[in-house]
Structures are given as C-alpha cells and as structure tokens.
Amino acid sequence: MTVETKKEAVGIVGLGIMGSAYAKNLLERGYEVVGTDVTEPAMATLTAQGGRAVGSAWEVAEGADILLLALPSVKALEIVTADLAGALRPGAVVCEMGTLPIEAKEACRAALEPKGAIVLDCPVSGTGAQAAMRDLAIYASGEEAGFRKVEAAFGAFARDVRYCGGFGTGIKLKYIANLLVTIHNLSTAEALLLAERSGLDLNLVFDAIRSGAGNSRMFEVRAPLMIENRYEPATMKHDIYIKDLQLIMDFAREMRTPTPLMAACLPFYFAALAEGRGKEDTASLFAVLKGMTEPRGTED
C-alpha cells in the first residue's frame, strides 16, 4: 500500500465548526496542520485528529506559509491580525475565510501586506455538516498569484474552489449566497410544516421534492434536520447567523437594492433567538413556525 507523503503545512486560526472541519480534511489528505483556538476542547480535537495545536496565532504563523483565518467576529480578526503581524514568514498567504464586513477584511490586508504577506478574501459557502463532507464552495478574491499558491489546499476541503477577481469580490458574492440561504431555509420550514399539517409523510415529501423543481441545496441539507427535530449540535447557530443577516441587509442598503423576501424572513430568525434557540441550528425555524400553530392555553 502506498503511503501518501506529507504536503506543506497549513495553519488554521479558529478551530470552531468550520475550522475543525478544514483541519480534519486537510490532515486526511496528507497536509500538516498547525492550529490554535481560544477553547481547550477545540485544541484537543485538533491534536486527536493528528494536527499540532499551539498557543497563539503568532505560533501558527511561525509554522506555516498558508494561513486560514476562521474567525467569528471583527474583534477576533483584529486581535489575530495584530498577533500575526510580528511573525509572518515572507511570502505567506493569509486567507480571511469569514463572513465579515469588507472594511474589516481591508484592515487586515492593510496591516499584513506591508509585512510581506499576501492577504486574500476567501469566504466559504456551506454549513458545518457540508464542511465535514467537503461539500463547500470557496469564493476567493485578491491577488491571483496568491490564490494559486493556496488553490490545492482549498481543494482538500472544498467541492468548488473558484477565483472571483479583485479583493472583496468574494465577500460580496457570499452576501448574495447567504441571502438565498436565509430565504431557502425558511421556505423549507414553511413547506414542511404545510406538508405535516396536511397529513403527508415528511420522508416521502423530502424524497419527492428533492428530485423535483422545488429542490434547493438548503432543502437537501436542512429538511432532514427539521424532519427529525434535530437541532444540536448545530451546523450553523442562530446567534452566529444573526450577524450574517445584518451584514446582508447593510450591504443591500448600501447598494440601494430592495430585498423584500429577505426582510420578511428576519422576524422568524429573531423569534428563534427570543425562544432561546441561539445555540441551535438554524433549521429550528421549523420548530418556531410549528409553535405558531399550537393552541395557546386559556386564562381563568
């Protein structure tokens, strides 16, 4: 049996749902992975997967020329950017993978490129479950020569890797993708609830719709979770996704573009938070809608 030789090292800063999936798939395809996270369980998971966990983004930068930033917030990106600035290897390629404001990505780029790095905007389309199965799309933008250096590594954990053009094009495309994800997730919940209340078997509905014109990737991914009422562990948590909703609406407002369906979805996502579903998968919109059909108790 031929043993695959180790490929170059890839550094990952942020080992949450997405980052840990990147690490697992990279390791399985022969890459070395060095990573860090603010939580000990995430670090332990990387070690168990066969990667090397280190204590800081600085140490990640010292150990790899390809750096993937899988961070949850602008504040986290600011902290990591400052940490990386003093440790980057000349010619390192830093890939900002998050769904964050373009201004935050530009600030990262402005801070790190004078240090000799190439900074790319590379948001990812797909859920945590899709990440685990390499069923992701990566929208890479920035210097094309930098993209070519990381393209093969991206292929280790994504189904569709594409270069989209100048820096910032990727995140704009991600806003568009997430607008559709937002609508399709709610439409899946709406359709399944109608099917359930009309007496249809939901597994039959899933199989039938999946092969017809009404199908969508979100229907395929989220309908099984809704049918099973299985919302934890989340592949995308409500309290994180709310950030994405705000980014989309801000972008649409800046572009002076009407988004009536997107706007109509927002109350249901916020209702999920109000019901304490922040840590649940966004598929739990099905439970939110279902709750609206249940009879309320009468007061004496």
Report pLDDT for 8. Answer: 85
Report pLDDT for 253. Answer: 97
Whole-angstrom CA distances from 37 to 43, 160, 167, 240 are: 6, 26, 26, 17
Q: CA-to-CA distance for 178 and 31, rounded, in angstroms?
A: 30
141-167 b/e with 16+ CB inside 10 Å = b? bbbeebbebbeebbebbbeebbbbeeb
Report pLDDT for 298. Answer: 46
Q: How do residues 178-210 score in pLDDT, each as one tens digit?
A: 999 999 999 999 999 999 999 999 999 999 999
Amino acid found at 35: G
Q: How do residues 52-67 score in pLDDT, each as one tens digit?
A: 999 999 999 999 999 9
The 3-class SS string of 153-172 reads HHHCCCCEEEEEECCCHHHH
- Give residue 139's pLDDT band: very low, low, confident or very high (50, 70, 90): very high
Q: Is 242 exposed, middle or buried (0-12, 13-18, 19+ CB in 10 A)?
A: middle
- Give residue 294's pLDDT band: very low, low, confident or very high (50, 70, 90): confident
Full-model pTM: 0.91
Find the radius of gyration of the CA atoms of the chain.
20
CB 99 within 8 A of CB 77: no
Which tokens in the block code for residue 27?
């390791």
CA 233, 33, 123, 111 torsion-angle sign: positive
Report pLDDT for 295. Answer: 77
Amino acid found at 254: E
Report pLDDT for 205. Answer: 98
Q: Is 6 exposed, middle or buried (0-12, 13-18, 19+ CB in 10 A)?
A: exposed
Q: CA-to-CA distance for 204 and 268, rounded, in angstroms?
A: 26
Using the predicted structure, report yes or no on whether residue 121 has a pLDDT greater than 60: yes
Q: How do residues 67-108 score in pLDDT, each as one tens digit?
A: 999 999 999 999 999 999 999 998 999 999 999 999 999 999
CA 73, 75, 77, 83 torsion-angle sign: negative
Beta strand 137-141 with 124-125: parallel, antiparallel or unpaired? antiparallel
